Copies of this chain bind each other. A is one copy, B any other.
Amino acid sequence: MTQQIRIGITGYGNLGRGVEAALQQSPDMRLVGVFSRREPASVQLLDTSVPVYAIDEVTAYQDEIDVMILCGGSKADLPEQGPYMAGLFNTVDSYDTHAQIPEYYNSVDKPARESGHVYLLCAGWDPGLFSINRLVGEAILPVGETYTFWGKGLSQGHSDAVRRVPGVKAGVQYTIPSTDAIERVRSGALPELSTKEKHVRECYVVLEEGADADQVRQAIVTMPAYFADYDTTVHFIDENTLANEHSAMPHGGFVIRSGKSALDNDQVMEFSLKLNSNPEFTASVLVAYARAVHRLSRLSDIGAKTVFDIAPGLLSPKSPAQLRKELL
């Protein structure tokens, strides 16, 4: 085997742990260390032989890391860490605030160029694999419509909203694509659908002692912005059921391109994900793109990149000749 790609992880929550796990399935890569804002001794890795460092020490490890994978959040962590790391390392992140991507891109492109590094932002599945499928769908079938459905998935923001309702002790919310809407799209009927027509919402709620179920249900289903416009179902469960059946982080969804050829034939392309662990899948995507970033850097490429700039072959550990023989 050629030399292993040396990886660093910054931030060790669900996503960071997922990256550590995904690296264990990638023999061409090796985890050099984890950088955390927490006290290093308090961070428990899956592999306790891997060192944990304070994030302030990161500059000392520039020569030991080929690609840094940032596992912080898009709201507070990445806007600060991204531009900083871009000046120090080849970097991959999963920035996912769609509306601010152009600004974020510029904020990491400049330091990456100036320091001669490659920075791949927005790796994951949306943005990420879903984005690629939206692009390829409209490039190949330019006359048509693209539909993105999310779910079945645990929604953090909506779960928080449920838990803020008086009388709710604990609870989770799932976003579920509407079966009816998916079937209409798959049929090639090109329906016009708003996000709320494409999805239904399902809540699993544990009541506070003495709370009135009907009142809680009413407060949830009429909540503006979050639930009022959606077909929302509320199930009441006990704490054991919540712990046993609703502690996983499933997610997924569909990107469907429904097109019409110039000779009037319906053509439908569909990409879907069914994930039992959302953070572990995002982590798997980050690791594959870290491989691509390392290769681009070896070819003296520099600057900010997105998944749109990465040829598929760069994601695989196999050689181009092997890929052509085995997978084409």
Using an 8 Å CB-CB cutoff, how does the interface string of A244-281 with B read, 1 for contact, 0 for none? 00001000000000010111011111111111110011
Interface-side segment among A72-80, A129-137, A166-174, A217-225: A129-137
Identify 5 new A-B residue pairs, CB closer than 8 A, beyond the known A21-B261, A98-B328.
A134-B327, A140-B285, A267-B276, A270-B272, A310-B312
For the complex formed, measure the closest distance between the CB of A74 and the CB atoms of chain B, giving whole angstroms. 13
Assess whether B267 is in contact with A313, with CB atoms less than 8 Å apart.
no
CA distance A306 to B140 in the complex (A): 16
Assess whether A312 is in contact with B136, with CB atoms less than 8 Å apart.
yes
Assess whether B316 is in contact with A138, with CB atoms less than 8 Å apart.
yes
A312 contacts across to B, CB distance below 8 A:
132, 135-136, 139, 307-308, 310
Assess whether A323 is in contact with B261, with CB atoms less than 8 Å apart.
no
Assess whether B265 is in contact with A276, with CB atoms less than 8 Å apart.
yes
Using an 8 Å CB-CB cutoff, how does the interface string of A138-160 with B read, 1 for contact, 0 for none? 11111100000000000000000
With A262-B25, A271-B270, A273-B269 in contact, do A122 and B328 touch (Cβ < 8 Å)? yes
Closest 4 CB pairs of A and B: A308-B313, A21-B262, A265-B277, A265-B276
Please tell me if A116 contacts chain B, counting CB pairs below 8 Å.
no
With A277-B263, A324-B308, A328-B306 in contact, do A136 and B129 touch (Cβ < 8 Å)? yes
Assess whether A313 is in contact with B277, with CB atoms less than 8 Å apart.
no
| Residue in chain B with minimal CB distance to A102 | B325
CA distance A266 to B251 in the complex (A): 11
Using an 8 Å CB-CB cutoff, how does the interface string of A314-328 with B read, 1 for contact, 0 for none? 011100110111011
For the complex formed, measure the closest distance between the CB of A65 and the CB atoms of chain B, giving whole angstroms. 21
Interface size of A in residues (CB-CB distance below 8 Å): 70
Assess whether B25 is in contact with A143, with CB atoms less than 8 Å apart.
yes
Please tell me if A24 contacts chain B, counting CB pairs below 8 Å.
yes
Please tell me if A58 contacts chain B, counting CB pairs below 8 Å.
no
Please tell me if A216 contacts chain B, counting CB pairs below 8 Å.
no
CA distance A26 to B285 in the complex (A): 32
A132 contacts across to B, CB distance below 8 A:
312
A60 contacts across to B, CB distance below 8 A:
none
A136 contacts across to B, CB distance below 8 A:
129, 288, 312, 315
| Residue in chain B with minimal CB distance to A258 | B274
A–B complex contacts, Cβ < 8 Å, 15 sampled: A21-B262, A22-B261, A25-B261, A131-B328, A132-B312, A140-B281, A261-B276, A262-B280, A265-B280, A266-B274, A269-B271, A270-B272, A270-B274, A308-B312, A308-B320
